[in-house]
A = this chain, B = another copy of it.
């Protein structure tokens, strides 16, 4: 039985309408707060090359933490398991004390998807590439086959101005010997990386290699071996959606990475990548309508990994 993805996307689009006014756009970065919460876009990219879209699926938005997934993939591809000496693989589980957990665990972040972990990954990339942020950008351009993808300099500057908590985290890790580059340059690079702007369709295409055992489906180019891809999927499931990964797995049941810009990239291993965007956030920082859209998607397609 084939699934009519287009029809499903349209049904979802209709069903989530009442939710668009309930989420709250991120305000800690002035540039992000200007986006209307009424936006909603969703794109499916199947491994056979077919794609489906609804709403604002081709409008650019700030990818933010979703870039952590690509930075990690790049670092994992280059450095292999050596990265796990500097960053863990466990859920953080403690929204209330990001610094104290890091302090207790002596500067080793719990996983690469919390800010502390993403800063370490950026630091790792900075030892291998001239500029970590540009390496991530070029990696995402290659994966999505879109050379025009770029940083949003306004957002990057805005983030850097409000990066005091991230600076505190970076200095603490430096104090513990787990940051090798200067704090300021890691912070700046990380802020630029987070400012990368893409569309739902571009992100679904860029992420599809992780649903395809590590190989880019449209080019056959192998990025990671099958086992490594599987392992990043596991990490997305247990740690990809801030402090509510357990709840997200319970409701949606797919590996996913969310960003505070309102995007969520999710995977159905062996079948497709799906990206949803809606800027209104729930209290945990995930797109409110986006989470619901993905829950509807797994219900309507019966596509859960469980």
A: residues with CB less than 8 A from B are: 88-94, 96-101, 103-104, 110-111, 164-165, 167-172, 174-175, 183, 227, 229-231, 233-235, 237-239, 243-247, 249-251, 253, 255, 269, 299, 304-306
Q: Taking A231-B250, A249-B237, A250-B231 as contacts, is the C-beta distance between A99 and B103 under 8 angstroms?
A: yes
Are B175 and A168 within 8 A (Cβ)?
yes
| One of B175, B250, B306 near A165 (C-beta < 8 A) | B175
The answer to whether residues A244 and B90 also contact, given A99-B99, A104-B96, A237-B249 and a CB cut-off of 8 A, is yes
Docked complex Cα distance between A110 and B101 (Å): 16
Closest partner residue, chain B, to A165 (CB atom): B175
Instruction: Show 28 A/B contacts (Cβ-Cβ < 8 Å), sorted by A.
Output: A89-B246, A90-B244, A90-B246, A90-B247, A91-B238, A93-B93, A93-B94, A94-B94, A97-B103, A98-B103, A100-B101, A165-B175, A167-B167, A167-B171, A167-B183, A227-B299, A229-B306, A231-B250, A231-B306, A233-B306, A234-B253, A237-B238, A237-B306, A238-B246, A238-B250, A239-B246, A269-B305, A269-B306
Q: Bound state CA distance, A93 and B244, in angstroms?
A: 12
Secondary structure of the A contact surface, majority rule: helix
Choice from B164, B169, B234, B247 contacting A306 with Cβ under 8 Å: B234
Copies per complex?
4
Query: What residues of chain B lie closer than 8 Å to A97, measured between beta carbons?
Result: 100, 103-104
- Return A23 CB to nearest CB of chain B, in Å: 21
Residues of chain B with a CB closer than 8 A to A165's CB: 171-172, 175
Whether B227 pairs with A249 at a CB distance below 8 angstroms is: no
Bound state CA distance, A165 and B174, in angstroms?
A: 8
